[in-house]
């Protein structure tokens, strides 16, 4: 499978996920309260994990 095919499939899955999770959720953490869509929350958690994994991986190599 070519890289372009994998990219198109991945972007299609992300697009479907985003359109299916548009309702809002409320997050309460001590004094803070925020309302956002489930898709943004999931994307933020994914990106946070990706960055954290990259940092930890680079610290173990060095």
Containing 33, the helix (H) or strand (E) segment is strand 32-37
Domain span including residue 54: 3-61
Containing 27, the helix (H) or strand (E) segment is strand 24-29
Residue 33 pLDDT greater than 90, yes or no: yes
Could you give the C-alpha distances from 23 to 1, 6, 17, 20, 26, in angstroms and in order? 35, 28, 12, 8, 10
pLDDT of residue 28: 94
pLDDT of residue 23: 94
Residue 62 pLDDT greater than 70, yes or no: no
Query: Total structural domains in the chain?
Result: 1
Better-scored residue on pLDDT, 37 or 1: 37
Percentage of the chain beyond pLDDT 90 is 52
pLDDT of residue 50: 85
């Amino acid at each position: 499978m070519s890289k372009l095919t994998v990219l198109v499939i991945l972007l299609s899955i992300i697009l479907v996920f985003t359109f299916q999770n548009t309702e809002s959720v409320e997050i309460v953490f001590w004094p803070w309260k925020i309302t956002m869509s489930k898709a943004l929350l999931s994307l933020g958690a994914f990106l946070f994990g990706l960055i954290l994994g990259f940092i930890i991986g680079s610290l173990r190599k060095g």
